[in-house]
Amino acid sequence: MPIVSGLVVRRSPVHGYGVVAQRRFMTGEVLIHAEGFIYGEDEVFDDTYALVLPTDDLPGIAGSFIYYDLVDQSRWINHSCEPNTEVESAIDSGTGLPIAWWIASRDIEPGEELFYDYAFVGSVAEPCGCGAPTCRGLIVDPDPVELAAIPEPLRPHLRLRATG
């Protein structure tokens, strides 16, 4: 697995390990191309560190999901409700397999931990400890459909302000 220069894995004050920038990254800059292994929706494996990617561009299984189990530094990028990176994904036209990469959504200074918004579907929402002022209280997609699917015992954690 490649080690990307300019990024380092450290103990994180937010959760477990995290990925910290060692140099400045500018808005829009690619931070890391993920390396991983693919699992189908029905396969049994530890999905703790897997990206969930839509299969809309994959012939035959459109409308489903596949899991991309991260095995490089990207595995350790934590969630924040106020992230400084975004994940992009696509299907590699050569291999037919998914690829994913992280982009700085704002300028990132040396020493800053990288975060992206996991946006879990409501049924698998988890309490969030990201500490951001706009923390939703749960790691969950803010889409109303997903908020409605949050299991009852977790609902008291939700701190979403009304919008609109």
Closer residue to Zn ion in complex, CB, 96/156? 156
Tracing tokens 């937010």 back to the chain, one arrives at 14
Closer residue to Zn ion in complex, CB, 91/160? 160
Cβ contacts of 153 within 8 Å, gap of 6 or more: none
Phi then psi dihedrals of residue 102, to 5 deg: -105, 140
Instruction: For the CB of residue 155, give the shortest distance to Zn ion in the complex, in Å.
Output: 16
Alpha helix ranges (H) inside 5-156: 144-148
Closer residue to Zn ion in complex, CB, 58/160? 160
130 binds Zn ion per the rule CB under 5 A: yes
81 binds Zn ion per the rule CB under 5 A: yes
Cβ contacts of 60 within 8 Å, gap of 6 or more: none
Tracing tokens 């706009």 back to the chain, one arrives at 134
Q: Can you read off the two tokens belonging to residue 18?
A: 């995290």
138 binds Zn ion per the rule CB under 5 A: no
Closer residue to Zn ion in complex, CB, 81/108? 81
**Per-residue string for binding with Zn ion, 89-128, x by CB under 5 A?**
---------------------------------------x
Closer residue to Zn ion in complex, CB, 56/126? 126
Query: Of 67, 74, 75, nearest to 38 (Cα)?
Result: 67
Q: Kindly indicate which of the ranges 55-63, 76-84, 85-93, 115-123 contains the residues binding Zn ion, using the contact rule CB under 5 A.
A: 76-84
> With contact defined as beta carbons under 8 Å apart, do 121 and 97 qualify?
no
Contact residues for Zn ion, defined by CB under 5 A: 81, 128, 130, 135
